[in-house]
Structure 1
């Protein structure tokens, strides 16, 4: 633990217990919270990042920023792969041909609840330096599949990359997984269907393409 105070950890724990109660009440496997809006308007006393971290490690889905498109993508990936995934914002570096998958929460069990656990740090939330968030030090030198099931367009956007670094940089979101891509400029210029993407460890291209075909949706490779 780096910046957060004990009171912020207790608040995050209470938030987690509240989310678990809601999931049990509605017999639901996933939850999404409008975290930034509610926290900034002081309608919520803690960020859900630590709770999402635990839910995703435990085989459920906790999704940031009330992003239902990404939440449904994470849930589908859970069923398809048995693995945890995470939402990220893209930071594309055309000079290095890399992308950074950045967010303030990511699982420490990217291979699923029974898989090995990676190291992580409990940090404050980067945008406002408040609350508690997660910096996961995710596995390197492995293939990543990054995608979004976009229901309103009946399209699945998909690209692959290779994890090369966990960037330690105080700016932007706490978890920053750096990955090499095929063509960073083409990826950037062709980016569509919103800001967020969902990343999961492994080569799942065939399975995702087949799922898109079964749905009757377009499968679009980015980059």
Structure 2
């Protein structure tokens, strides 16, 4: 669903809470009609038995971290068969509709995955962008701007956060860099560890 068109003053409810619940239940659901994000959701759910969090990346140059922000975060970050992380129902940052604000574990190892379909990057084969790191903070919105779930992540590599490639990457619990590289090889995808 292209939900960005529903952000104005119209009577259409945003699907954020539905996307969160669907991903918690193992049904891939992506925001803003992003085909690369839905493909990444499918990969994470079927390979690692857990949902991912599709987010908009924001570089924080004050401490070289990446902030992932969106309003459709699932709660079963430890896996479909495990209890949910703590969460609360809050208003969407547009001050309308209910959305879950999931609290990520500080210190938790995470993987970041972006699937770039070949037709979108004008290449012969699709590509995975992969990185790993650690959750350092859950930002409160407000006073911080952006979507209600804003997770700050420190990457393992000394990546320049301003030039971090991709958009709508998935954050998900666990360190699965090696497995994703092997999966890319199996599927004849390109793979770039950043």
Q: TM-score range by the shorter chain?
A: 0.7 to 0.9
Tell me if structure 2 keeps the 8 A contact 1:97–1:183.
no
User: TM-score, normalization: structure 2?
Assistant: 0.88
Counterpart residue number, 1:220: 192
Report the secondary structure of 1:62's partner residue: coil
User: TM-score, normalization: structure 1?
Assistant: 0.77
Which is greater in Rg? Answer: 1
Tell me if structure 2 keeps the 8 A contact 1:93–1:184.
no
> Counterparts of 1:21-100 in structure 2 under 5 Å?
33-40=1-8, 42=10, 45-100=12-67
Aligned length: 186
Check 1:185–1:158 CA distance in 2 against 1; reply closer, same or farther (3 A cut).
closer
CA distance in 2, matches of 1:63, 1:105: 9
CA drift at 1:74: 0.6
Aligned Cα root-mean-square deviation (Å) = 1.8
CA offsets 1:78-115 (integer angstroms, 9 cap, x no match): 01100110100112112212111111121111122211
CA drift at 1:71: 0.7
Counterpart residue number, 1:210: 182
Write 1 or 2 for the structure with the bigger share of helix: 1
Report the secondary structure of 1:61's partner residue: coil
Tell me if structure 2 keeps the 8 A contact 1:155–1:218.
yes
CA offsets 1:5-60 (integer angstroms, 9 cap, x no match): xxxxxxxxxxxxxxxxxxxxxxxxxxxx2112145373x62111111111111121
CA distance in 1, matches of 2:153, 2:7: 31
Q: Which runs of no fewer than 5 residues in structure 2 stay unpaired?
A: none
Q: Which runs of no fewer than 5 residues in structure 1 stay unpaired?
A: 1-32
Counterpart residue number, 2:151: 177
Counterpart residue number, 2:106: 140
CA drift at 1:183: 5.1
Check 1:41–1:212 CA distance in 2 against 1; reply closer, same or farther (3 A cut).
farther
CA drift at 1:184: 6.1
CA distance in 1, matches of 2:117, 2:12: 32
